[in-house]
A and B are shown apart, each in its own frame.
Chain A
Amino acid sequence: AQSVAQPEDQVNVAEGNPLTVKCTYSVSGNPYLFWYVQYPNRGLQFLLKYITGDNLVKGSYGFEAEFNKSQTSFHLKKPSALVSDSALYFCAVRDRTGGGNKLTFGTGTQLKVEL
């Protein structure tokens, strides 16, 4: 069965500093990986996805994520954080072999960017 771990419930960072939100996954075979963001009282919004190819994936709002197969990780990064980036971030994985479009989500990481 596929699974996702987000080891940090909360990440605090100062505005202007780089940020990293961690994600590790477990699937049989090669994965499809996703990052979503959720602002208060809103649904999830898609940020970026990894399918194949370049291990560094660029997404919306200046976010990027690095796929590392040997470490089974897909960490979300941004070079310079903004206060407006404060939100709940979810990593998700889909097994390539299972078919369909079912995603398994992590438990989420609350990002707080402070002035």
Chain B
Amino acid sequence: DAEITQSPRHKITETGRQVTLACHQTWNHNNMFWYRQDLGHGLRLIHYSYGVQDTNKGEVSDGYSVSRSNTEDLPLTLESAASSQTSVYFCASSASGSPNEQFFGPGTRLTVL
């Protein structure tokens, strides 16, 4: 069955370190998204991509970057981790075209000390 996976599921890092969170989907979806979930804020969009070599900033993109070299993967990089980036991160994907629902990965819990 098609799926979307994230790794690692849990990560503890130190302030200032570079961190990369992986997202891999086997749906063959063109659209991929990264969100962060924080209490009181719901889900906020960090970056998104509508296809290979396409990336766009979301509402909370500062301090994050993504690259899309193939259809299946959209890794999220924290260039220099900050304590404010402690959060749960979700990757999602959806098919192109009409308003198709997004499929979510299981999440990565990131703690920045």
Q: Are A101's CB and B41's CB within 8 A?
A: no
Of the candidate stretches B11-19, B61-69, B72-80, B93-101, the one touching chain A is: B93-101
Bound together, the chains give a CA A44 to CA B33 distance in angstroms of 13
Q: Are A106's CB and B42's CB within 8 A?
A: yes
How many Å from the CB of A11 to the closest CB on chain B?
Answer: 16
Interface positions of B (Cβ within 8 A of A): 4, 31, 33, 35, 40-45, 48, 50, 58, 90, 92, 94, 96, 98-107
Q: Which of B4, B31, B44, B99 contacts A49 (CB 8 A)?
A: B99
> Could you give, for residues 38-65 of chain A, a 1 whenever the CB lies within 8 Å of some chain B CB and a 0 otherwise?
0001111110010100000000000000
| Total inter-chain residue pairs, C-beta < 8 Å | 58
A87 contacts which chain B residues (CB < 8 A)? none
Bound together, the chains give a CA A90 to CA B102 distance in angstroms of 13
Main secondary structure of the interface of B (DSSP, over half): strand
Q: Does A25 contact B (CB under 8 A)?
A: no
A44 contacts which chain B residues (CB < 8 A)? 43, 90, 92, 102, 104
